[in-house]
Amino acid sequence: MSAATALSASEAARQIEAGSLSASELFDEYRDRAAADSSGAFLHVAERPLQGATAGPLAGVPLAVKDLFCVEGVPSTAGSRILEGYRPPYTATVVARLAEAGAPMLGKTNMDEFAMGSSNENSGYGPVTNPWDRERVPGGSSGGSAAAVAGGLAPWAIGTDTGGSIRQPAALCGLVGMKPTYGAVSRYGMIAFASSLDQAGPITRDVADAALLLSHMVGRDHCDSTSLGLPEPVRAPSAERLDGLRFGVSPELAGGGLEGVEPGVAEVLQATLRTIEELGGAVEEVHLPHSGHGLSAYYVLAPAEASANLSRYDGVRYGLRRGGADLRSMYEDTRSAGFGPEVKRRIMLGTYSLASGYYDAYYGRAQRVRTLIAEDFRRAFDQVDFIVTPTSPTVAFRLGERTADPLAMYLSDYFTVPMSLAGVPAISLPAGLSEGLPVGVQLAGPAFSENAILDAAHALEGALGFEGGPWRG
Amino acid sequence: MIDRDEVMHVARLARLELSSEEVERMAGELSHVLEHVERIGELDLEGAPPTSHVVPLENVLREDVPRPSLSRERALESAPESADGGFGVPSPGA
């Protein structure tokens, strides 16, 4: 591996600005690596930087983009066969912002179809392997983005997170991944899964890169009326201590509510809590009494929203069309041929829970549970600055290990879903190894606390000294 | 729990055509997931309003100024079929 592809994105940007590294050579090197890759991480690799976006604060450091983001004239499929060959007539706001800031798109990364999955095995275009162990999954749904960054095929990437789809693959690939406060980043041009939960965020090799990328993603957008931006700019994190900060560990989220947290994961969490204390932070118990029900509420709400959002794939305006004897059979043939099994399952689940007779028992109840979970977090953040959990109950699992049991796959999201339901920001950072595979720890904070989370993560990162990413060669 | 007839009813609502094998598998899988999900039935939800938005927002307005939008030609470019400047579809009544 060359020296340039082993650099963090921030360091590459510094070297380009200092004149010791060429932006076009860096792009070409990553492009060649991405084009030659056989891990399935990319669905499309750009020939050259689009829009000539190599000037600006990001200095031309190329960016891998999850295939959920529409890019004008570039194949954008969301990992689904129903959008095979689709080239959108417009570009997602966040991709346009990053291009303007000097991060040209390197390519589009593989993902679970319509972001539904935790292993990337639900892609309509084949699985992705984890650079740490090619027999294991990279996590999902932003699995291609995480595998690309960890495998040295891209210096950094953007993903999207609905119930953990940035944080979990970042954890399984030994990377930093951040889901911002709901509304911090525009959703315009993101192919919708569950609109009240979807957020874009960075997947990077370190915390400084995450802050730098995020700083150019956030902002209000007149094309997304739920976008708010952040009250202050995202700063470069510099903290090295955690003095005076309080970190909450919730018994409801620390394994008490879930069997199946691997002992190796629990050990890394305990070691991280000790490191927090060594850095001057206080660790205390905090209660999130309804969080144990997060997964249940999520698997009603997200499929319900998805069933409505995915009704647009009907063979009329774009994408696949099948059949055609009459309108109804055209709809049914198109959707039955174009959607994969997990997407069909979630559409069915969502349609069921919204159907007359079931609405109150499922969707209505889940929306109330969501309120209780959000209130739990608000109360907890009166007591502590952050909540700490493992990001995933397990390290990267083997390809095929969980495909037969949808519910077992859903349990991957146990620790990440409550923050999504509450709309609060959370970061996953690599904190250690178990069985030679990376373990991520999640730090969540109150809405709009991105800078505080990034600072705390930076201090922890320095003290934990996690090394050994495959991109280092 | 959800039986074959319910699966077929929901599939019709969702405009999905499932093979009989898919119906069988879906009935089992959905029942398994719903069993887990139904744990929220244990909670006391008295006084908890449904969430409409996680971050308080009201009346997001912008200036009502005309801006360029997608042209008809651009919008039709990706369509499997277009006719007379619109999207072409099979007859609903056929």
CATH at A202? 3.90.1300.10
pLDDT of the residue at A51: 58
The reply to whether A124 falls in a domain is: yes
Smallest CA–CA distance, residue B26 to chain A, in Å, is 7
pLDDT at A49: 79
Q: Is residue A165 assigned to a domain?
A: yes
CATH number of B1-41: 1.10.20.60
Contacting residues of B for A339, CB less than 8 Å apart: 16
The β-bridge partners of A435 are none
User: Is A179 designated active site?
Assistant: no
Q: B42 in the Ramachandran plot: left (φ > 0), alpha (ψ -120 to 50) or beta?
A: alpha
Residue A364's pLDDT band, with cuts at 50, 70 and 90, is very high
Q: Annotate A321-343 with b (16+ C-beta within 10 A) or e (fewer).
A: bbbbeebebbbbbbbbebbbebb
**pTM of the predicted model as reported, rounded to 2 decimal places:** 0.97
Q: For residue A172, is it within any domain? A: yes
Residues A232 and A296 in one domain: no
pLDDT of residue A438: 98
CA distance linking residue A93 with residue A71, whole number of Å: 9
Contact between residue A152 and residue A5 where contact means Cβ atoms under 8 Å apart: yes
Kindly report the nearest CA distance between residue A405 and chain B, in angstroms.
8
B60 part of contact set with chain A, CB < 8 Å: yes
Q: Which residues of B touch A182 (CB under 8 A)?
A: 54-55
The nearest CA of chain A is from the CA of B76 a distance in Å of 7
Inter-chain residue contact B62 with A222, CB threshold 8 Å: yes
**Which amino acid does the sequence have at A219?**
G
B-chain residues within 8 Å CB-CB of A307? Answer: 14
Q: What is the pLDDT of residue A396?
A: 98
What mean pLDDT do residues A125-130 have?
98
Q: Does B24 touch chain A (CB under 8 A)?
A: no
Give the closest-approach CA distance of A353 to chain B in angstroms: 9
Out of A198-212, A404-418, A428-442, pick the least confident: A404-418
- Same domain for A154 and A229, yes or no, is yes
What pLDDT band is residue A254 in, cutting at 50, 70 and 90?
A: low
Q: Is residue A263 assigned to a domain?
A: no
Count CB-CB contacts under 10 A for residue A312.
Answer: 12
Which residue in the list A66, A118, A215, A420 is annotated as catalytic?
A: A66
Residue A209's pLDDT is 98
Reply yes or no on whether A66 is catalytic.
yes
Is the domain of A297 the same as that of A209? no
Domain boundary, last residue among A313, A339, A365: A365
Contact (CB, 8 A) for A450 and A180 = yes
**Domain span at A361:** 292-365
B2 and chain A in contact, CB less than 8 A: yes
Give me the number of domains chain A comprises. 2
Q: Are A39 and A134 in contact (CB under 8 A)?
A: yes
Judge whether A380 lies within some domain.
no
Do β-strands A199-204 and A157-161 pair in parallel, antiparallel, or remain unpaired? Answer: antiparallel
Residues A50 and A168 in one domain: yes
Q: Which pLDDT belongs to residue A54?
A: 67
Mean pLDDT throughout A289-306? 95
Ranges of residues in chain B with a pLDDT under 50 are: none
Each residue of A193-225: pLDDT tens digit? 999 999 999 999 999 999 999 999 999 999 999
In a domain, A429, yes or no: no
With contacts defined as CB-CB under 8 Å, which chain A residues touch B50? 364, 367-368, 370-371
